[in-house]
Structure 1
Amino acid sequence: MSKEDEQIEAVYRVMFAQQSQKDCSPFSNNDCSSMKEKLATGSVFDQEVNATTTDDDGIPSSSHPLEARILRKMDLFLIPLMAMLYFLSNLDKSNIGNAAIAGLTEDLNLVGTEYNVAVTVFFGTYILFDPVGTNMLKIMGPPTMMSLCLFSFGVISLCTAWVKNYGQLILVRLLLGVFEGMIYPSINMYLSLCYRRDQYAKRFAYVFAAACLSSSFGGLISYACAKINGSLKAWQYIYIVEGAISIGFVPFYIFGLSNDLENSWFFNEEEKEYIIQRFKSMDTSNPNEKFEWHQAWLAVRDIKTWVSAVALFGIDLTTFGLTVFLPIIIETMGFTSIRVQLMTVPIYFLTAIVFFICARLSDRWRLRSPFIIGSCVTTCVGIVIVLASQVNGVRYFGVYILCMGIYVNAATNCLWLSGNISNYFKRATALGINLFFGSGSGLVSGQIFLNSEKPRFIKGLSICLAFQILSIIMTIIQFLLYRRENKKKEKIIDHYLDLNEPIPFDPQLGDENPQFRYMY
């Protein structure tokens, strides 16, 4: 980071340090005092840049000795819980693909596009509850909301084992979408409140890698269930086993999380006090912010929100389509249904490794857009290989290339947007819109991979390719918009520094203030 960037961010940290004089937490609903004063003089640059562990008000900076200690504890106790929650969510969300090749479609007498409709309706309720999750986290608190969602979708998955017909399958898929839809946004918001912006992507990498691994374990579980010689069918055992696993983890969220981060059981008194002070120096949230329609409107009117949302739609069209239909696509290459379950495992395992590496580099270099564009290009290359070749070995290789990018671009898109918004409810609204569009692509993906298109699925893969290219274009536009805004802010800061006057700041504007630097 350049000296100028460090100075500008230093001003921002100091101003947020002034914003609250109470002990606050992002999950509390108590009022915090308003900003005591605006930035007084330009001399604050030197005060903050020369500080090592605290600013001039005694607020801890990221180099404080306790920072590393509390990060280790959060990484040890919170990240595994978030990763497991996302793992279980994706396991129960995508298991219909494994169940389909294990006999679900035949036993329920699904004909025509009925299987595709069953896949699609899930996203009908999923997208409606995406925006709800970002706000319910603050209202209900992490322990209540996350354990309730986990228990609910676990029970629903378990009950799916006993559906008898198409209508019952549609019903459980609709219910599953309600509780699954709130998981991803709540995890995203939770991590954005616990970690600083430059600590965010690496931690989310652990969580999002769980989605890749869940697909791998889904294949292993399905393979094991196919070997059970019981009174039920293999697809029924898939739902029973995976639903029971989800329910079994509920106590970890009831007792392992706290409504207020500083009250978490694994922190001592010194660390709890540090966390309270730490919130005041973080630019990812305004502690104890109350809901205001003005903040929601700031997100709605921001063109960057919509550009990001369109990009995510194109990205997730491939992600959702491949997550559900990948086992079926591999089966069309001539492999047995049992072997197909195993052949999905190494694909997603490689995807998890690639995503983790990209996330760490993204945090280290403080860059987002190059990783989104690069992964979209990788996905495009993989799709072209699968489309162009009729040799099964080559097509299977193309699937590896394709899948290496589908999680990197989706996760980084959301991280980029949420990390560039400071106020809680503006971020919640923008992320809700973003995820609404992204999840909405699931309504399309379920209708473009049709049985009549087997074995090559030219229509579905071609549509995915076109939307990946659209996502590249929208990501470039988003980058240019952020760069333009940063240049405007630099000019404003330079102007007031030349005049030796305070730099204007309005806490209601959050990231739109000149002191906030957008990441690229």
Structure 2
Amino acid sequence: MTEVSLRRVVPVVSKDESLGDDVVEENIDGCKESIRSPDGEEEASYDERPSLTHPMESRVVKKMDLYLVPLMCMLYFLSNLDKSNIGNAEVAGLSESLGLTGNQYGNCVTVFYATYIFFDPIGANLLKVIGPKYMMTGCLVCFGAISLGTAWVSDYSHLLVVRILLGAFEATIYPSINMYLSICYRREQYAIRFAWVFFAACISSSFGGLISYGCSKINGSMEAWQYIFIVEGAISLGFVPLYFAGLSNKLEDSWFWTAEESQYIVDRYDTMSTFNPAEKFEWSQVWLAVKDIKTWVSAVALFGIDMTSFGLTVFMPIIITSMGFSRVNAQLMTVPVYFLTAITFFLCAYISDRIQVRSPFIVGGCIACATGLAIVLGSDVNGVRLFGIFVLALGIYVNASMNCLWLSGNNGNYFKRATALGINLFVGSSSGLVSGQIFVAEDKPRYTKGLATSLGLQVFAAALTVVQFYLYRRLNRQKAALIKRCEELDEPIPYDEHLSDMNPQFKYMY
């Protein structure tokens, strides 16, 4: 491979690109960047610093879309597949086979999400320490093997243990993918790529229903629920070599870059408000995230949102059986529900990136979820209740994912963002503990208590999202006033790289 050298750019004036200001810079000899081979021959050149409009930008983004986004999609697909299979296994006779009584099934759901509370914050920070290649590959090996092994549990205690272990390794997947995409893409490019990831999660839930349907038709020596775990665990393990070979611990070292593109990626970090490869872990960044009121408002809102998504992921097949569908057909009916969810989220994410706003989509998703829940609760007509499930599907992933994207994009330094996202997921995932206790066995299959609680929390989450909007708007106005005052007094605009998004140049997204 041809070696390259690139003269470093020395910034003369730098203003955060999120405010739309021009950036003036020059290198030692002038304003032109050159890439040279060892013999001094110029191979390529460009006249601008990396930006959204730079000709190289579209080239590197297309390559990341082609080689990295599919890997993130498949990882979340596999994680979601192994996470939600217990719901389909329950419909296929899990509780009867293991002799589960009372709310023991609900307890197994609860302990799975309990691991998320501990590992979500850790996963977001560990990605930069361990590296994407080893962290994502290792987690895939572990949760795939554990899911496959679940087929041989023989009683309640065994199921409880494997669900704890499964949760421990799956809990790091979502924050890892979120943080990895924030390293790869600018804020303006972020949501549509994450839409593909969530699209994969929705398809995963649909695919899980199809696998369950297929397993119910197997006439073997084992029961249908066992085949569900075996098939889905084996699928996860089959993808392990792809991640070990396809990912690098540093984005610029990825196998698909040319030398010119690799150097562009390195220079590109300086123009992104989301990642600095030289950043080291500092407790001060953790503290900035912990004491930020916006972190906690977002987290409590996510708690209300996730109560529905966690509950419905596991209990939806059971609820559909109450509408007159057989066990097999109930699993099959989850397919179009999740497909509608996927299409809706993809459209919302595309529009959100184009107009650069997040909050209206979160509020809209909460309203759709609350409306769907109200229909399912308020009607005794099975056709109407099924329609309510489809209305619910319009918002169930839109509000949760946009909440995380909004918070992540509005935090600058890596470890502040990782901590804020970790807290967000910590509080949000704790709703999984509650969901297993409000969707209780004695309320089966209508789950009136669980659905009513979820409805109220969706309304509460919408209100908190409006509060976040006003907090961000107030801060943006304060920053704009400070910048205007500095310009009037001909004073430099204050900047401290440790304050990241708290600097006046950083404009919060609504």
Q: Same fold (TM over 0.5)?
A: yes
Aligned partner of 1:147 in structure 2 is: 137
Distance 1:191 1:474 in 2: 26
Q: Does 1:166 align with 2:156?
A: yes
1:447 is aligned, of 413, 432, 437, to 437
Query: Which residue of 150, 155, 167 maps to 1:177?
Result: 167
- Deviation at residue 127 of structure 1 after TM alignment: 1.6
Specify which of 489, 495, 506 is matched with residue 505 of structure 1. 495
Query: Counterpart in 1 of 2:214?
Result: 224
Q: Is 1:424 aligned to 2:399, yes or no?
A: no
Structure 2 contact 148–233 (Cα < 8 Å) conserved: yes
Alignment correspondent of 2:43:
none
Amino acid at match of 2:51: S
AA at the equivalent of 2:375: I
Q: 1:346 aligns with which of 327, 336, 340?
A: 336
Query: Is 1:158–1:244's contact at 8 Å kept on the other side of the alignment?
Result: yes
| Deviation for aligned residue 1:287 | 2.5
Unaligned runs of 5+ in 2: 34-45
Secondary structure class of the residue paired with 2:152: coil
Q: Distance in 2 between matches of 1:178 and 1:451?
A: 25
Q: Tell me how far 1:514 sits from its aligned partner.
A: 0.3
Deviation of 1:121 (Å): 0.6
TM-score (normalised: structure 2): 0.92
Displacement of 1:46: 7.2
For 2:440 and 2:119, the matched residues in 1 are separated by 27
2:443 matched to 1:468? no
Residues 224-263 of structure 1 correspond to what in structure 2 (within 5 A)? 224-263=214-253
> 1:48 pairs with 15, 18, 23, which one?
23
1:38·1:502 contact (CA, 8 Å) conserved in 2?
no
Aligned to 1:372: 362
Confirm or deny that 1:328 pairs with 2:323.
Answer: no
Residues 433-490 of structure 1 deviation map (CA, whole Å, 9 limit, x = unaligned): 0000111100001111122113322111110011001101110000000000000000
Is the 8 Å Cα contact of residues 193 and 285 (structure 1) preserved in structure 2?
yes
Is structure 2 residue 378 aligned with structure 1 residue 388?
yes
CA distance in 1 between partners of 2:71 and 2:444 (Å): 39
Partner of 1:201: 191
Q: Report the CA distance between 1:263 and its aligned residue.
A: 1.1
Structure 1's 116 and 256: CA in aligned 2 closer, same or farther, altered over 3 A? same
Residue 258 of structure 1: how far off its partner (Å): 0.6
- Tell me, in whole angstroms, the C-alpha distance in 2 between the residues paired with 1:47 and 1:191: 26
Between the two proteins, what is the percent identity of the paired residues? 63
Residue 70 of structure 1 aligns with which residue?
60
CA distance in 1, matches of 2:23, 2:263: 22
- DSSP 3-state at the match of 1:296: helix
Give the aligned partner of residue 18 of structure 1.
Answer: none
Moved over 4 A (4+): 35-40, 44-47, 53-58
Q: Per-residue CA shift, 1:255-298, capped at 9, x if unaligned?
A: 00011111111111111111111111011122321011100000
Q: Distance in 1 between matches of 2:82 and 2:503?
A: 42
Partner of 2:38: none
SS in 1 for 2:339: helix
Is the 1:54–1:64 contact (alpha carbons within 8 Å) kept by the matching residues of 2?
no
Q: Show the 5 A alignment for 1:87-166.
A: 87-166=77-156
Partner of 1:266: 256
For normalisation by structure 1, the TM-score amounts to: 0.90
Cα distance in 2 for residues equivalent to 1:159 and 1:501 = 65
Contact 1:54 1:61 in 2 (8 A): no
State the 1:500 CA deviation: 1.3
Q: CA deviation at 1:243?
A: 0.2
Instruction: Report the counterpart of residue 37 of structure 2 in structure 1.
Output: none
CA-based RMSD: 2.2
Question: How many correspondences in the alignment?
Answer: 486
Distance 1:339 1:477 in 2: 42
Whether 2:505 is the aligned partner of 1:515: answer: yes
Structure 1 Cα separation of the partners of residues 22 and 269 of structure 2: 20
Residue pair 1:38, 1:504 contacting (<8 A) in 2 also = no
* Structure 1 residue corresponding to 2:395, chosen from 405, 411, 414: 405
CA distances 1:328-364 after superposition (whole Å, capped 9, x unpaired): 0001112111111111100000100000000000000
Structure 1's 418 and 54: CA in aligned 2 closer, same or farther, altered over 3 A? farther
Paired residue secondary structure (1:381): helix
| 2:175 counterpart letter in structure 1 | P
Q: Secondary structure at the match of 1:509?
A: helix
Partners of 2:49 and 2:25 in 1: how far apart? 14
Aligned residue number for residue 490 of structure 1: 480
Counterparts of 1:301 and 1:72 in 2: how far apart (Å)? 38
SS of 1:344's partner is helix
Q: Write the distance in 2 (CA, Å) between the matches of 1:435 and 1:95.
A: 21
- Kept in 2, the 8 Å contact 1:295–1:426? The answer is yes
Give the conservation status (yes or no) of the 8 Å contact 1:39–1:502.
Answer: no
Q: Which residue of 2 aligns with 1:61?
A: 51
| Structure 1 position 308, deviation (Å) | 0.2
| AA aligned opposite 1:264 | S
For residue 60 of structure 1, report the CA deviation from its aligned partner: 1.3
Report which stretch shifted further, 129-138 or 157-166.
Answer: 129-138
Q: Distance in 1 between matches of 2:508 and 2:116?
A: 30
Q: Deviations over 1:138-179 (max 9, x none)?
A: 111101000000010000000000000000000000000100
Query: Shift in Å at residue 211 of structure 1?
Result: 1.0
With CA pairs under 8 Å and 6+ residues apart, which has the higher RCO, 1 or 2? 1
User: In 2, Cα distance between the equivalents of 1:304 and 1:429?
Assistant: 13
What amino acid is aligned across from residue 136 of structure 1 in structure 2? L
Aligned to 1:9: none
